[in-house]
Chains A and B, each alone.
Chain A
């Protein structure tokens, strides 16, 4: 097994709960709003 394959094989897998949360429409709607706000904040900070 090469180094890259070994490193991937030893990386953490998401839990069942994390996978469900990544697909949950209610939770993802909240994340959609939150991520957009964080991105806008970051853009504003870098604006010239």
Chain B
């Protein structure tokens, strides 16, 4: 397993559980800790600490009998190389005791679960090394909480503050996380008694509110169809949050966000506090064939994500089909290599693609974090287990995002009695208009509800998934 996030860690634990001691399960990750990323939102408003959302991986892997290398994978050699006959991966250690040492690690089966590279460089001035905060990692979220505390102090001192939360590029994903952080910040500001001193703006690449990178949802409530757009707009109105839609952030200067919108206009937004998520790209991983030729372009999409069993033929939105989406996650170039979670290359967006008159693409990338990531990791692990046990005749396990549901519980404020969250489910994640007709999704299994219960569910998921990730007794009974 390359990567120890939700996908890679899930795959490693399942393989270790299923395989006998005669098999070695190896995890390579540049990070020493596992992070329950959905709860970074609460770290970002100072309601949780880094230690509550992370834990060291090494003791868990030692207990479970999994070999762990704290290292960064740099190159794949699925056909071997002149230096090593068997398939292998080159790594550079990030473990302080072996810092910058390199090694080749042989494998029979490889799961690429390297997740995203946080591409702050795509937008000048974006990110903690620039002029905006982030909640993508626990340390980033801790820094965001400190900046938020500063602006709240200024509000208490009578200074009106402008808070901008959203995404920092036209092709970002994870709008749900930006939405969550927006309403958690609003909740904190209100709790601090200074709501009237804050102008809060949600800045997004979504064409309309409630899109969330999945083209929006249609809910059925009291016998009527309603849209996630109307539902989300209602929450924005209730909580007094402004929105800038269809925006591609071009550049950030101290206190000023420069952005282009879908109508081609170029605008500026001044801010005192800004948390903008970066776009993602694949890990910096190369691939070589047996004679040492660089075949990275065959193995990875230009975005750096791994090509798997999807239909990558370019075609217009009207011709997109549910079956374009991958189901086994096996590399299209090399057998026994899988790309799961954020690391696989989606065949296309889920939201309708849009471009400004200036040619700028402003469309959310497809989300594939959390629950789908875990399911993909487990699916690849089950396929590998069956191939080991039954040989090449084994049938591949499948889990396409077009036949998989997902639950998204978007926190809108913390507190066991005063918290709130928007609990949403959709089935399937990728709309299937041939199967489900006009809305593309099952009306019965696609719903949304706002309330305290959603907050309890979000907290329950925090506890349950950390329990599961720590491989405590019966961890495997908790669904992905």
Bound-state CA distance A43–B172 (Å) is 27
The answer, yes or no, to whether B399 is at the interface (CB within 8 Å) is: yes
Given contacts A4-B245, A43-B405, A43-B479, contact A48 B445 (CB under 8 A): no
Q: Which of B18-26, B57-65, B233-241 participates in binding chain A?
A: B233-241
The answer, yes or no, to whether B75 is at the interface (CB within 8 Å) is: no
Q: How far is the CB of A24 from chain B (nearest CB, A)?
A: 8
B399 touches A8 (CB 8 A): no
Tally A-B pairs: CB < 8 A: 91
A41 touches B420 (CB 8 A): no
A-side interface size class: 20 to 34
Which residues of chain A are within 8 angstroms of B118 by Cβ–Cβ distance? none
Which residues of chain A are within 8 angstroms of B407 by Cβ–Cβ distance? 39, 42-43
The answer, yes or no, to whether A17 is at the interface (CB within 8 Å) is: no
Which residues of chain B are within 8 angstroms of A3 by Cβ–Cβ distance? 245
Q: How far is the CB of A40 from chain B (nearest CB, A)?
A: 8
A36 touches B379 (CB 8 A): no
Instruction: Identify the closest chain B residue to A30 (Cβ).
Output: B453
Q: Pick the contact of B427 from A22, A23, A29, A46 — CB < 8 Å?
A: A46
Which residues of chain B are within 8 angstroms of A39 by Cβ–Cβ distance? 407, 423, 425, 457
Bound-state CA distance A7–B454 (Å) is 26
> How many chain B residues touch A (Cβ–Cβ < 8 Å)?
40
A5 touches B242 (CB 8 A): yes
B405 touches A42 (CB 8 A): yes
Chain A 1-48 interface residues, beta-carbon cutoff 8 Å to B = 3-5, 7-9, 11-14, 21-23, 25, 28-29, 31-32, 35-36, 38-43, 45-48
Given contacts A21-B451, A32-B457, A41-B445, contact A8 B403 (CB under 8 A): no
The answer, yes or no, to whether B324 is at the interface (CB within 8 Å) is: no
Which residues of chain A are within 8 angstroms of B449 by Cβ–Cβ distance? 31, 35
Which residues of chain B are within 8 angstroms of A45 by Cβ–Cβ distance? 405, 427, 445
Other A-B pairs beyond A38-B445, A42-B425, A45-B427, 4, CB < 8 Å: A5-B243, A7-B208, A43-B405, A45-B445
Max count, chain B CB within 10 A of own CB: residue among A3, A22, A43, A46: A46
Which residues of chain A are within 8 angstroms of B209 by Cβ–Cβ distance? 4, 7-8
26 A-B pairs with CB atoms under 8 Å apart are: A4-B209, A4-B243, A4-B245, A7-B233, A8-B242, A8-B243, A9-B237, A11-B230, A12-B234, A14-B238, A22-B452, A23-B452, A29-B453, A31-B449, A35-B423, A36-B457, A38-B425, A39-B423, A40-B479, A42-B407, A42-B427, A42-B445, A48-B375, A48-B397, A48-B398, A48-B399
Q: How far is the CB of B465 from chain A (nearest CB, A)?
A: 14
Which residues of chain B are within 8 angstroms of A43 by Cβ–Cβ distance? 371, 405, 407, 479
Which residues of chain B are within 8 angstroms of A47 by Cβ–Cβ distance? 479
B423 touches A46 (CB 8 A): no
Chain B 197-248 interface residues, beta-carbon cutoff 8 Å to A = 208-209, 230, 233-234, 236-238, 242-245
The answer, yes or no, to whether B107 is at the interface (CB within 8 Å) is: no
Residues in chain A within 8 A of chain B (CB atoms): 3-5, 7-9, 11-14, 21-23, 25, 28-29, 31-32, 35-36, 38-43, 45-48
Instruction: Identify the closest chain B residue to A36 (Cβ).
Output: B457
Bound-state CA distance A12–B238 (Å) is 9
B447 touches A38 (CB 8 A): yes
Chain B 349-399 interface residues, beta-carbon cutoff 8 Å to A = 371, 375, 379, 397-399
Which residues of chain A are within 8 angstroms of B456 by Cβ–Cβ distance? 28, 32
Bound-state CA distance A42–B403 (Å) is 11
Which residues of chain B are within 8 angstroms of A32 by Cβ–Cβ distance? 453, 456-457
Instruction: Identify the closest chain A residue to B232 (Cβ).
Output: A11
Given contacts A5-B242, A32-B457, contact A22 B405 (CB under 8 A): no
Q: How far is the CB of B208 from chain A (nearest CB, A)?
A: 8
Bound-state CA distance A9–B104 (Å) is 59
Q: How far is the CB of A41 from chain B (nearest CB, A)?
A: 7
Q: Pick the contact of B233 from A8, A23, A25, A35 — CB < 8 Å?
A: A8
Which residues of chain A are within 8 angstroms of B244 by Cβ–Cβ distance? 4
> Which 4 pairs from chain A and chain B are nearest by CB?
A11-B233, A22-B451, A31-B453, A32-B453
The answer, yes or no, to whether B404 is at the interface (CB within 8 Å) is: yes
B451 touches A8 (CB 8 A): no
The answer, yes or no, to whether B149 is at the interface (CB within 8 Å) is: no
Which residues of chain B are within 8 angstroms of A40 by Cβ–Cβ distance? 479
Which residues of chain A are within 8 angstroms of B452 by Cβ–Cβ distance? 22-23, 25, 28
Q: How far is the CB of B190 from chain A (nearest CB, A)?
A: 14
Which residues of chain A are within 8 angstroms of B428 by Cβ–Cβ distance? 46
Q: How far is the CB of B147 from chain A (nearest CB, A)?
A: 26
Bound-state CA distance A23–B379 (Å) is 39
Bound-state CA distance A13–B235 (Å) is 8
Chain B 395-440 interface residues, beta-carbon cutoff 8 Å to A = 397-399, 403-405, 407, 417-418, 420, 423, 425, 427-428
Bound-state CA distance A7–B404 (Å) is 32
